[in-house]
Amino acid sequence: MAISEAKKGLGFVSPNPAVGCVFLDKDNHLRSVGYHRSYGGPHAEVEAHGKVQNLESLVGGKAIVTLEPCSHFGKTPPCADLLSRLSLSEVHYGLRDPNPLVSGRGLRKLEESGVKVFSAPKDLESSLKELVEIFYLNQTEKRCFVGLKVASSLDGQMSLPSGDSQWITGPLAREKSHFLRAYFGAVLTTASSVMRDNSSLNSRVEPFHDKEIPVFLIDRKGRSADFLQDSKLLEVRDAKSLYVFTSQDHLKSYTCLPTSQVIDLKSDSDRDQLREIFKFVTHLGFSSLMIEAGPQFTSLILRENLYDRLDLFVGPKVLGAHLKTSWTKGLEFSNMDQVLSFESAEPKTLGGDIWISARNPSAFFDSKL
C-alpha cells in the first residue's frame, strides 16, 4: 500500500524521491495513508500524519514508509523527529536513504526514541529500488539518470525507409510512453527527429497535461534554426524550456530562443559531446533525462553505453530489414561475451504490444559528471 501511494508522486517530486507512508494502530487497523505530492511540499509521513483524525490512535501503532525517514532540515523539518514523537511501537522502512545527510541517521533517531525499526521484506526490494532508482543514482554517482526509449517492430525497425512510423505501436503503448516522458525530468532528442515528426514531446495523459517538459535538442549543423520558430515544440512550452546544442558557427541562428538556451558543443567526438551534454543537464539540476530519437542516435547511445535504463515498446508488425531504420544499426559483436545484456527485464503486454523495461548493469560513464 505504501508503494502504491508513493507511485502517485512520480513525475511531480523530482529531484526528491517518490515516497509513500501508511499508519496502522496497535491492532493493525488502517489509520491513514499519504505520499510526497510535490517537490518542496510535505513529505509522505507529514501528509499521512495530517490525515489521522485521532492521534491517540497511533500510540503503540506502526508506520510503514518506503524510504528511511529524513533526519535533516531541508525544505521541510525532519520526518524522523515527527515519527519519534508519536509513541509508535514500530517503524517499517523500505530502503535506506542514500543521501549521506540522512543514511542511517533517521533510523538511529527512531531507535533512540524507543521505536523498533524493521526493514522491508526481501520480496519487495525490487519494487522499492525501481521506485527511487533515479534518486539513488543521483545521490551515489552525482549525475543525471539517462533513460533510452525505443518503439520498434518485431524485426527491430523504428520506421519504414520513407520515415513513416505511425503507428508501429498501439494506443496503450503510446499512453505508457507519455507517462514515462512525464516521469523523467527532461527529454533529449535530435534535429533529425524533430524535423521529421514535428512532435510536441509533451505528456498528453492525466495528470500531466499541464506539465511543461524541458527539451534538449542536438543540432550540430543548425538545420532546425528556422524550423523551430513554428514547431510544435514551442507551441506547448516556453522558449526557456527548450535548449539547443550546436556548433559555434550556428550559435546566433536560433533567434526564437534566449541566447542562454543555445549551447556551444565544444567537443569533437560523439562520446565527448554526449558527456558534455549530460554534464550540462546535470549541472542545471535535472535529475533524469529520457532520450527519444531516431535509429542513428539511438544506436550511438547503445554503442557508447551511455544510458541507465532501456524502455522498449515492440509492436506486432514486420517492416522488413532496413539497416538505416534499425535501432541496433552499427552494433556488431563477434562473441557472446560482447553482447548487450540487461537486468530486471520484465516484459509486459499493453494491448497487442510488448513493453520491456530493463536496467543496463554496465552503464559506462568514465567519471562522475
Whether the predicted pLDDT of 369 surpasses 60: no
Do residues 34 and 127 both lie within one domain? Answer: yes
Q: How far apart are the first and last CA of the chain?
A: 36
| 148 and 120 part of one domain | no
In this predicted model, what pLDDT tens digit does every residue of 264-298 receive, in sequence order? 998 888 888 999 999 999 999 999 999 999 999 99
What percent of the chain stands above pLDDT 90?
66
pLDDT > 60? residue 23 = yes
For residues 366 and 301, give the distance between their C-alpha atoms in angstroms, rounded to a whole number.
Answer: 14
Q: Are residues 98 and 39 in the same domain?
A: yes
**Active-site choice (45, 47, 68, 292):** 45
Residue 205 lies in a domain: yes
Of 77, 98, 131, the position where a domain reaches its end is 131
Domain match, 56 and 90 both: yes
Position 82 pLDDT exceeds 70: yes
The tally of CA atoms less than 13 A away on the side-chain side of residue 23 is 29
pLDDT at 234: 93
Residues 6 or more apart from 300 whose CB is under 8 A from it?
A: 270, 274, 330
**101 and 170 assigned to the same domain:** no
Q: Which of 105, 131, 157 is the endpoint of a domain? A: 131
Same domain, 127 and 146: no
Same structural domain for residues 147 and 240? yes
pLDDT of residue 345: 83
Which residues does 162 contact at the CB level (< 8 Å), separation at least 6? none
Residue 365 lies in a domain: no
- Classify residue 364: in a domain, yes or no: no
What is the CATH classification number for the domain harbouring 267?
A: 3.40.430.10
Per the rule left: phi > 0, alpha: psi between -120 and 50, beta: everything else, 311 is: beta
pLDDT digits (tens, 9 = 90+) for 189-215: 999 999 988 889 999 888 888 889 999
pLDDT > 70: percent of the chain: 97
267 lies in some domain = yes
Q: What average pLDDT does this structure show over 28-54? A: 93
Write the CATH number for 33: 3.40.140.10
The residue out of 110, 131, 152 marking a domain boundary is 131
- For residue 367, pLDDT over 60 is answered with no
Domain membership of residue 136 (yes or no) is no
> Is 242 a domain residue?
yes
Q: For residue 65, what pLDDT is reported?
A: 96
Q: Does the pLDDT of residue 74 top 70, yes or no?
A: no
Asked if the model's pLDDT at residue 70 lies above 90, the reply is no
Look at residue 366 and tell me if it is in a domain: no
Domain with 229, as residue range(s), is: 142-359
237 and 99 in a common domain: no
180 and 201 housed in the same domain: yes
123, 153: one domain: no
Answer whether residue 369 is part of any domain: no
pLDDT for position 174: 92
Tell me: do 114 and 157 sit in the same domain.
Answer: no
What's the pLDDT score for residue 368?
Answer: 53
Is residue 102 very low, low, confident or very high in pLDDT (cuts 50, 70, 90)? Answer: confident
DSSP 140: H
Asked whether residue 328 carries a pLDDT value surpassing 90, the answer given is: no
User: Which whole number is the average pLDDT over 136-165?
Assistant: 88
Q: What is the 3-state secondary structure (H, E, C) of 57-112?
A: HHCCCEEEEEECCCCCCCCCCCHHHHHHCCCCCEEEEEECCCCCCCCCHHHHHHHH
If one compares 247 and 331, the residue with the highest pLDDT of the two is 247
Task: Please say if 346 is a catalytic residue.
Answer: no
pLDDT (0 to 100) of residue 72: 67
Give the containing element (helix H, strand E) for 184: none
| Domains: count for the chain | 2
d(CA 315, CA 224): 30
Give the pLDDT band (50/70/90) at residue 366.
low
Same domain for 289 and 325: yes
> How confident is the model over 212-239, as pLDDT tens digits?
999 999 999 999 999 999 999 999 999 9
